[in-house]
Structure 1
Amino acid sequence: MSEDERIDAFSAEPLHSQLTTIIRNNILTDRWPAGEKIPNQQELCKKYEVSLAVVRQAVEKLVSEGFLLKRQGKGTYVMDPRIRQGPRKLTSLSQELTARGAKVGSEILDSRVEASGSKFARIFDLTPDEKVIRIKRLRLMDMSPLGIQTFFCPERLFPDLLKKNLTESLYGLVENHYGYRFVSADETYTAIIISEADCKLLTVEFPYAGFYVERISRGADGKAIEYTESIIRGDKYSVLIHLRK
């Protein structure tokens, strides 16, 4: 057994929490591949030298998080709840999740019109007196919090956007209602520790690792149509880069 798989009986962290972390890391690092049956509860007790109650708590926690799946009469199996992001067409998160068969949802956290400021004046090529629309949403995948997205766009391009159903795909609204077509985008990914406030929204315990993603999408004329900041749980998202020589 490697050092990072050992339970510390003298730690202030509860035993079930330590075991949950160990099993979750085994899944995220592919030590336990998706689809594989995990050891039964008695075997886990023996391997990690903990009680059956500790094992049950850890397993139930990981089932609720989507890392494990219980199959009646067959055992418990590894699931990979992450969206593996790799080379792809320009799509919205809603389109991405729907294509994977996931149920998509959104909760509106904030929506307003505000001054553009120097940052958005530069991105959208706005005059100092022009404003931007800001829509902050909690994004859900299969009813579980996946990330927090804050969408910005020029108010003059999308009048009355705040009166629309903002729980729907914003890309869909922009393209279908306003007639703008997204043709390109630039994304920047940064690994972060999610803030305590955002951890509460994402129903995870602080400190928690995640991604901070910035996207600028452009129309056919090359001008920016939208800018989105996303904070995404690291256990539900990964970035796959394909390299060729």
Structure 2
Amino acid sequence: MTSNNDARPDLLYSQVENNLRQQIISGELGVGEKIPTELELCERYSVSRITVRRAVQNLVDEGLIYRLRGKGSFVSVPKRVIRKGSPNNFGYHAFSDIGGKSHRRVLERSSLEATPALANALDIKVGDTVLMAKRLVFEDSIPIALDSVYVSERSFPSFLDDLSEDMSLYGLLSENYGIQLGVEELVIDVSTAREDEAKLLSCIVGSPVYVLSKITKDSEGNPLHYSKSLLRGDRASFRFVISPEGKILTEA
């Protein structure tokens, strides 16, 4: 495509933007693929850098492209908006309820001694045995999260055998173990993917990731498990509805 130098600037950036959008939608530019540089786009479309920057920024705002400082701009996977939904369904678990087909692959099953942080989270003693399962979570065929779950061996001695590849942790706790689930304590931080994490999540080293740290309790307030999940930042955004009293509301 070549542009008319006499065309209005707003039409020029729209042409560049629409052309790039069509390449992304058609798959000509695949997920994770680096788009041409500003200079290359200027030469390809015979437009100024200002025009290219505006077109690309609109696609960034739309969520079709994301930038990594010093590395360039890349095609995003369309984001999911994660809302507070049904009980115990806040995080990547919500994907299966909004159209995605989530499955998991077990990467590691192990036992370890409780560190002070784990002991505090699970309300056990330092040095007590903790069981850990690490799984890679997919939406359809795209890896979206690394999920590490920790439970007390004393409370769930057969946990590593009972937790299968695609079993929901909440299903295991409520249906298999007959536990009435209570509140969750969730902390959301932001980090960047290390080399080993990026390889598993099929993203670029340094890509943004959410770090979800969560303690789930039973109906009596006893800790059931602690989990730490890395969720690809290009795959989700979080939406909260908060009452005047500061409570997170459940959306219809």
TM bucket normalised to smaller: 0.5 to 0.7
Question: Would the aligned equivalents of 1:28 and 1:235 in 2 still touch at CA under 8 Å?
Answer: no
Q: Given the superposition, is the C-alpha separation of residues 232 and 24 from structure 1 closer, same or farther in structure 2, using an over 3 Å criterion?
A: farther
Which residue in the other structure is 2:250 paired with? none
Aligned residues: 191
Specify the SS of the correspondent of 1:9.
helix
Which residue in the other structure is 2:39 paired with? 9
Percent identity, aligned pairs only, is 20
Within-5 A mapping of 1:49-60: none
Within-5 A mapping of 1:99-178: 99-164=97-162, 165-178=164-177
Partners of 2:131 and 2:57 lie apart in 1 by 39
1:220 lines up with 2:219 in the alignment = yes
Q: Please state how far the C-alpha of 1:169 moved relative to its aligned partner.
A: 0.9
Partners of 1:206 and 1:22 lie apart in 2 by 26
Which residue in the other structure is 1:97 paired with? 95
Q: Please state how far the C-alpha of 1:149 moved relative to its aligned partner.
A: 0.7
Question: Would the aligned equivalents of 1:121 and 1:127 in 2 still touch at CA under 8 Å?
Answer: yes
1:86 lines up with 2:83 in the alignment = yes
Q: 124-133 or 168-177, which moves further after superposition?
A: 124-133
- The gaps in structure 2 that reach 5 residues or longer are 1-9, 18-35, 42-52, 65-72, 245-252
Which residue in the other structure is 2:236 paired with? 237
Q: 1:29 aligns with which of 61, 68, 72?
A: 61
Q: Which amino acid aligns with 1:162?
A: L
TM-score by length of 2: 0.66
Q: Given the superposition, is the C-alpha separation of residues 207 and 180 from structure 1 closer, same or farther in structure 2, using an over 3 Å criterion?
A: same
Q: Given the superposition, is the C-alpha separation of residues 178 and 210 from structure 1 closer, same or farther in structure 2, using an over 3 Å criterion?
A: same
Q: Which amino acid aligns with 2:139?
A: M
Q: Given the superposition, is the C-alpha separation of residues 185 and 243 from structure 1 closer, same or farther in structure 2, using an over 3 Å criterion?
A: closer
Question: Would the aligned equivalents of 1:217 and 1:227 in 2 still touch at CA under 8 Å?
Answer: yes
Partners of 2:165 and 2:81 lie apart in 1 by 26
1:171-212 CA-to-partner distances (Å, cap 9, x unmatched) read 211211111222110111112111121011111111201111
Q: Which amino acid aligns with 1:163?
A: D
Q: Which amino acid aligns with 1:85?
A: I
1:192 lines up with 2:201 in the alignment = no
> Over aligned residues, Cα RMSD in angstroms?
3.1
Q: Which amino acid aligns with 2:240?
A: I
Specify the SS of the correspondent of 1:156.
coil
Partners of 2:94 and 2:200 lie apart in 1 by 22
Which residue in the other structure is 1:202 paired with? 201
Partners of 2:139 and 2:63 lie apart in 1 by 25
Which residue in the other structure is 1:75 paired with? none
Q: Given the superposition, is the C-alpha separation of residues 202 and 188 from structure 1 closer, same or farther in structure 2, using an over 3 Å criterion?
A: same
Question: Would the aligned equivalents of 1:90 and 1:185 in 2 still touch at CA under 8 Å?
Answer: no
Partners of 1:24 and 1:156 lie apart in 2 by 54
Partners of 1:120 and 1:31 lie apart in 2 by 37
Question: Would the aligned equivalents of 1:194 and 1:206 in 2 still touch at CA under 8 Å?
Answer: yes
Q: Given the superposition, is the C-alpha separation of residues 103 and 129 from structure 1 closer, same or farther in structure 2, using an over 3 Å criterion?
A: same
Partners of 2:55 and 2:169 lie apart in 1 by 37
Partners of 1:31 and 1:132 lie apart in 2 by 40
TM-score by length of 1: 0.68
